[in-house]
Every structure is written in structure tokens, then in C-alpha cells.
Structure 1
Amino acid sequence: MTILVLAPHADDEVLGMGGAIAKFVSEGLGVEVAVLTGSGNEPHPIWPTSHWDAIRAECRTAMTILGCKAPIFCELPAACLDNMPAHEINEVVANLIANVDPEEVYVPFSFDLHKDHGAIAYGASVAARPYLAGAKKIRRVLAYETLSETHLSPPYLAPAFQPNVFINISETIDKKIAAMQAYASQIQPDNQPRSAAALKALATLRGTHIGVAAAEAFVLLGEYQR
């Protein structure tokens, strides 16, 4: 089985499901991680090119730790997707799905605080509509939770992340933490969300839902038995 993980930014894939990625790889499943944003096709209004060189090198190291093949990098402009036509974002996502031809697709939660996350999730929903010829192979679509973004939208103004799928990562939590530590430019002190302490705490909490030492949580967006 082939699994496609859509990460709006490098590190989202580890924050959201680094343990599950390592678990899938250990089980012999094919995992493709795609990082959708970067500098873009023109000079970025916020970050220099060197920023992307550094974080993409970190991402490659993180994927090696998880046992994954090299990530796919796309060039949608980071932190600018709310100013792009939706059809351009949707086309990038649709092309990824067509090229990878996955059975399962993992996406960010649509109502994360970061607008890039919502735009990528929307693009995946459009491309993975189950009646489309290009989505016929897809069996499941799930949303992962990203500590620094998923729980920060104003309460009652956007749907909360209420997981209904849990994956036991007790055997791979250490790889998740090591992969996050590879993101030297992104990891934060232990009292902040993108930190080893926060990832361990969330994994412990999610583990209590299914009675294991550590877990990651997901929202099942669609399951198709054809």
C-alpha cells in the first residue's frame, strides 16, 4: 500500500504523524511525504532562499530518521496561500495525488489556525473526491493534528479537532522525537508546542484513548470500499 502525507510546511509531517510514518515504514508500506510550500517561483516576501535550503536539508535528515525516502518538495509560496487562486493550489495537490497514486492520504486539519493548512486540506478534498477517476484508488483520507496550529483557532468559531482514529506509536515515538530534533531551525523550548516535551505529552495523552503508551490522533474524513 502507498500512503501520501501532505505537509504544508517542512516539519508539519513530523509534528502531525512522525510516529505513524515510522510505523508504516517498519510495516513495509510505501510512504511518500510531500512538502507543499517553499520560496515559490518568485523571490519570497519574507524569507531568503537560504532559509529554504536549510529547512529542506533538515527535512531530508528527518525523513531518513523515520526510514522514509527523500521528500517531494513543491514550490507554493509559504504563508501566502490565502492570496493565491484556489485552483492553482488544487492543481498542485491533484498532480501529487495523480503521480503518487496512493491508497491513503493524510492531510492537515482544515480548521488549523495557519491558513496554508486550510488551503492544502481544501485542495486535497477537491482532488480526492471519490467519484473522480484520479481518486479511484484512494481508500481513506485522514487529517492529522499539528500542535502549533490545530488547537489555536478561536473556540466556537471553527470546528474543533475531535479525533476518531488513533494509531499506536509506542514503538516509534523515539524516532518521532529524533526526527523533530533534526529540525534545528524549528524546534522550540520545552514550554512551547514544537518541542520534544510537548510531542511526548500529546502522544501520552492520545495513548490514553486506546490504552497504550503513545499514540497519534486523526480525524477520518472519508473511507471508501469499492
Structure 2
Amino acid sequence: MSKPVLILSAHPDDETLGAGGTVLRHSKQGDKIIWLIVTNIFEHQGFSKQRVSKRQKEIEQVAECYNVQETVKLDYPTMSLSSDDLGSLISDISEVVSSHTPEVIYTMNRSDAHSDHRVVFDAVMACTKSFRYPFIREVLMYECISETEFAPALPEKQFQPNCYVDISDELEEKIKIMNIFKSELGTHPFPRSERNIKAVATHRGATAGVEYAEAFQIIKSYRFETL
């Protein structure tokens, strides 16, 4: 049975780096994909008109590749989220969650090096309380190359995967989609390279016993069916 799935990005490309193969699998099985992008780029931040326009076209292309049924842009300025934004961000995310009633939510890792990611995680968690959002069945964090692995090397900051999704049939398509965000890619040893995307998928696949996989950390999982 198909279900609504919410994938969050602090910045467009987070979703592809961390969960692109998994989103493709959801799409293939007929699930309703809602893509929530928290930040955007603007000319007043120093981005050229051409770059701003190109980014919006990239988002449209990627949404089409994933068969996204609705793309929601909150349009917070990129690279500027802070705790001061939490109140409005929680309200905005809550509205999206309440209106789309997702059963599964994918969000970025709580300890990512990028502060935008950490603020988004805190806001998302405020929108997953079971007594306010009883339709949510799972909340999972994904790892985002170039951010998750650069979190401080402290025990409480570690990404600890406990859920793996086989993306052996989706990896090549994931990489093609990532190439839509061409400006975000570089050559090895730059973290966001095709080689590293495949290397991480290989490593996670070896852990899970499949060719390629994506890893997640389950934050919440509610199961009411008979075990």
C-alpha cells in the first residue's frame, strides 16, 4: 500500500546525497513523495541572477526525476539559519507535516558540520510528537556526504546507522540525479565526488550484505501491527 513520505533538505542536494536511492525506491513503489526544501539562494546574498534561476530549474529537474508530487520551498536564506529561526521554522514545518500527514520522514543528521542542518533537525523533531502528529510511523536521519563525516569526533556527535536500504538498482540513477547539481560536485578527494558517493554506498552495502546501500539512523519507529 502506498504511503506519503516527506524528505527534508536544508539545501537542495542534501536529499540526493543522503537518501537519493531510497527516495527512488519509494517512488517506484508508488509512494507519494513530498520534498521540503528549507533554504534558497537570493541575489541579495550575492548570488547572480543567472545562478538563482539555474538553481530553481535544477530543483524542478530533480523533483521530476523523483516523481515528487509536491515541492515545498520555505525560502530561508541559505547559510544563515540559527536558533533565532527555530520558532518560525517549527511553525512552517509543522504546517507542511500537518497538511501532508507523512508516515515516514527523512531528515538530516543532528550533528552535521553545517549549522543549517542542525537547526533544521531541531525544528523537525519538534514536529514529530506522537500526540500531535499520530500519523507519523518513522523518523530517520540520513548521512550527508561532506557534512556528516565532518562532525566533531565526539561520542555524542556520531552518526550511528541502524537501518540500511538496498539501492543496488538505484545507485547509477542517484549519481545521474546528483549531476544535475553539477556545481556541487568535485573530483576526488573532494568529498562530494561521484567516486565518494559510490564508495560510501559500497561501504554501507558491505555492512548490509548487498552491493550498494544507504544508511539511516532510526529516531522513531512506531509499529502497531502484530509481530
Scaled by the length of structure 1, the TM-score of the pair is 0.92
Q: Percent of pairs identical after alignment? A: 27
CA contact (8 A) 2:33 2:67 kept: no
Q: Secondary structure at the match of 1:107?
A: strand
Equivalent position to 2:197, from 196, 199, 206: 199
CA contact (8 A) 2:6 2:104 kept: yes
Which residue identity lines up with residue 123 of structure 1 in the other structure? A
Which residue identity lines up with residue 5 of structure 1 in the other structure? I
Match of 2:74 in 1: 74
Superposition deviation, residue 48 in structure 1: 4.3
Q: Secondary structure at the match of 2:30?
A: coil
Q: Secondary structure at the match of 1:71?
A: strand
Match of 1:21 in 2: 23
Matches within 5 A, 1:206-217: 206-217=204-215
Match of 2:14 in 1: 12
Equivalent position to 2:36, from 24, 34, 37: 34
Q: Which runs of 5+ in 1 are unaligned?
A: none
Deviations along 1:140-192, one digit per CA (max 9) or x if unpaired, are: 00000001100112211752001000000001111100000111221222321
Distance 1:83-1:223 versus aligned 2 partners, 3 A rule: closer
Superposition deviation, residue 56 in structure 1: 2.2
CA contact (8 A) 2:37 2:74 kept: yes
Which residue identity lines up with residue 86 of structure 1 in the other structure? L
CA contact (8 A) 1:4 1:33 kept: yes
Q: Secondary structure at the match of 1:221?
A: strand
CA contact (8 A) 1:64 1:70 kept: no
CA contact (8 A) 2:83 2:119 kept: no
Q: Which runs of 5+ in 2 are unaligned?
A: none
Q: Secondary structure at the match of 1:128?
A: coil
CA root-mean-square deviation: 1.8
CA contact (8 A) 1:60 1:70 kept: no
Match of 2:126 in 1: 126
Q: Secondary structure at the match of 2:96?
A: helix
Match of 1:164 in 2: 162
